[in-house]
Amino acid sequence: MQTSQAKSPWFWVPSLYFGQAIPYIVANSLSVILYKDLGISNADIAFYTSLLYLPWVIKPLWSPLVDLSGTKRAWTVALQLAMAAALGAVGATLHLPGFFMLSLGVMWLLAFASATHDISADGFYMLAMPASQQAAYVGVRSTFYRLATLAAQGPLVILAGYLATSLHDVRQAWAIVFFILAAFFFVLCAWHRSVLPHPLNDHKAMDGSGPLRAFFATFGSFFAKRDIWLILGFILTFRLGEAQLLKLAALFLKDPLAKGGLGLSNEQYGVAYGTVGIVALTVGGLCGGWLISRVGLRRALWWMVAAVHLPDLVFVYLSSVQPQSFGVITGFLAIEQFGYGFGFTALLVYMMMVADGPYKTAHYAICTGLMALGMMVPGMWSGKLQETIGYQHFFVWTVLSTIPAFLMAALVRIDPLYGKK
């Protein structure tokens, strides 16, 4: 793919995908810790932060707009500027009356900008490099995305805890964290405006009718796939248990013993779940990818379905025993996160298999939208359910909620050679 100026992808691929991950983690994970620290109920946190998944669910619906107006490069830079403003606005709302709904409204705008940025950044990545080079940098993309996840859930949470203790003002502590994030995105925007190459074929579509026809054809061909109901069932149920557990895990770790939690501070959470846990998740993902590459998805599927779901029993144990050893808690969380990372790889490869064909990119976007839907809806009711039945029974329920995933794994068709060397 020719470009008007040659710049090494090392100048922009790491920063592009580090920046792509941050707002997603802020909207869907960091927001949970923020609102817990500010005294919002578990039911409200789970319901409203689950709604923040919505832009990622429906992003395939407006993806043609990115093609019809402007260039992928211009979209990417502009959206990073918008996300910088949104992050700063979240920090500015935290001392205002009605901060919860005000900050949520800004978070929703952040999520919308982030989902659109995913479309433009991924499109730019494919335009700026030839296919062979794209494949070579997939590992770089994944590594820096994971590093951003680590940074957002580890050091940033630890910093918020430290500042809250030092300043004796939890709202000011979190406001400073969001102002730091805003400053980072302003710098990121300026950096990418300077270093992103200008692909010669990065231009808007001249005629909207063609892309719109292709848009409807893309959706039609996806839902006309063989065994579409099994495909939908597998993608939507694969994370049914995890979708509920994920929203409550951080709340459980931070709630005091008297409320059935483990009473971790932000600093402890940042180390145990946001640092050690993310490292274990990353290692698990690498091991899962290696296994599929060796034996294929069909042979690895049951091992991976078990790996992603059975470690949910860790939370049943933790909620029953409520251990006070930080080392024990961290160790069990690492086991759960390793299993999740290992098994989740199966869903990613399955979606690649489903998307394979002439509409590969668009069909994969539809799959990721369905996956986000499977996370959003169960997460919305999880907080209210936990408040009704308590943490221990709630985690037992999440384990039972994994049964549909096992049933779907027994029914779906897998290419026996897919993912195998």
Q: What is the widest separation between alpha-carbon atoms in the chain?
A: 63
List the domain boundaries for the chain.
1-206, 225-421
How far is the C-alpha of 276 from the C-alpha of 317, rounded, in Å? 19
User: Where does 225-421 sit in CATH, by number?
Assistant: 1.20.1250.20
Q: Is the pLDDT of residue 59 over 90?
A: no
Residue 138 has what pLDDT? 65
Please give, one letter per residue, the 3-state secondary structure of the chain. CCECCCCCHHHCHHHHHHHHHHHHHHHHHHHHHHHHHCCCCHHHHHHHHHHCCHHHHHHHHHHHHHHHCCCHHHHHHHHHHHHHHHHHHHHHHCCCCCHHHHHHHHHHHHHHHHHHHHHHHHHHHHHHCCHHHHHHCHHHHHHHHHHHHHHHHCHHHHHHHHHHHHHCCHHHHHHHHHHHHHHHHHHHHHHHHHHCCCECCCCCCCCCHHHHHHHHHHHHHHHCCCCHHHHHHHHHHCCHHHHHHHHHHHHHHHCCHHHCCCCCCHHHHHHHHHHHHHHHHHHHHHHHHHHHHHHCHHHHHHHHHHHHHHHHHHHHHHHHHCCCCHHHHHHHHHHHHHHHHHHHHHHHHHHHHHHCCCCHHHHHHHHHHHHHHHHHHHHHHHHHHHHHHHHHHHHHHHHHCCHHHHHHHHHCCCCCCCCCC
pLDDT in the model for residue 325: 95
Kindly report the average pLDDT of the chain as a whole number: 87
- Look at residue 3 and tell me whether its pLDDT is greater than 50: no
Q: How confident is the model at residue 221 (pLDDT cuts 50, 70, 90)?
A: confident
The highest-confidence range among 55-64, 100-109, 132-141, by mean pLDDT, is 100-109
pLDDT given for residue 72 in this prediction:
86
**Class of the 1-206 domain?**
mainly alpha
Q: Which own/partner contact pairs does 133-139 have at CB distance under 8 Å and 24+ positions apart?
A: 133/9, 137/9, 137/13
Give the list of residues 6+ apart from residue 339 with CB closer than 8 angstroms, or none: 284, 307, 308, 310, 311
Contact 236, 367 (CB under 8 A): no
What's the pLDDT at 6? 52
Residue 5: count of CB within 10 angstroms of its CB: 9
- Of 10-14, 158-162, 355-359, the range with the highest mean pLDDT is 158-162
More confident residue, 134 or 258: 258
Q: What is the pLDDT of residues 261-318, one digit of tens each?
A: 999 999 999 999 888 988 898 888 888 888 887 888 888 899 999 998 988 899 999 9
Has residue 170 got a pLDDT over 90? Answer: yes
Whether residue 126 has pLDDT greater than 80: no
Give mean pLDDT, residues 230-244: 93
Q: What is the mean pLDDT of residues 20-36?
A: 94
pLDDT of residue 4: 43
Distance CA 153, CA 25 (A): 8
What is the tens place of the pLDDT at every residue in 398-417?
Answer: 999 999 999 999 998 887 66
The model's confidence at residue 47, banded by pLDDT at 50, 70 and 90, is very high
Same fold, 1-206 and 225-421: yes
Mean pLDDT over 147-175 rounds to 93
361 pLDDT more than 70? no
pLDDT of residue 2: 45
What is the pLDDT at residue 105? 95
Instruction: State the Cα–Cα distance between residues 219 and 184, nearest whole angstrom.
Output: 37
pLDDT value at position 62?
A: 78
pTM as predicted: 0.84
Q: With 60 as the cut, is the pLDDT of residue 208 above it?
A: no
* Mean pLDDT value of segment 92-117: 95
